[in-house]
Amino acid sequence: MLKVRATAHDHACEHGHPPADALAFAETRCAERRLKLTPIRREVLEHLAASSAPVGAYDLIERMHGASGRRPAPITVYRALDFLLEAGLAHRIESRNAFIACAHRHDRSDLVVFMICDACGCVSEAPAASVQRDLDKIAQGAGFRPASQVVEMFGRCAHCG
């Protein structure tokens, strides 16, 4: 398993919004969809929202241990992550085997392009409806039914040049 660490840098990444904003949105979305935001799910989301780079599950466990003194079981953290992904409150960065809080208020099925900075490790996300339409056309023309679509681009963010 690839272990991802947050890289220190002197600029705010786009997805690094205040945990309170992420929690407020999560509470609203969960209430609308009649989902339960348990304390552990809330804590995992808080740590994701506070991070400027994607966080792996085992790094989350260490952060949670450092913050509260208790070490949750890996299965507990993975279940919380599964819930957050399913609810559209977090994203999995496939190439990093790590997670970020969702920076945009879009539907879970919407295609998002992740721009990953090779220098500082931060991830920005952008909705990509036109890319999704193009990919859907390509798949349809080939008789292919995609189970998921992930677009990750690597390079340098505006701050790292």
User: Can you point out the beta strands (E) in the chain?
Assistant: 90-93, 98-101, 112-117, 123-127, 151-155
List the structure tokens of 76.
């507990």
Cβ–Cβ < 8 Å for 124, 13: yes
- Is 160 known to sit in a ligand binding site? yes
Bridge partners (DSSP) listed for residue 99: 55, 92
Taking phi over 0 as left and psi of -120 to 50 as alpha, with beta for the rest, 143 belongs to left
- Is 117 known to sit in a ligand binding site? yes
List the structure tokens of 107.
């539907």
149 vs 128: CA distance, rounded Å: 11
Cβ–Cβ < 8 Å for 49, 19: yes
- 77 CA to centre of own chain: 14
Cβ–Cβ < 8 Å for 48, 87: no
Could you tell me which residues are annotated as the binding site for Zn(2+)?
117, 120, 157, 160
Q: Give binding residues as ranges.
A: 117, 120, 157, 160
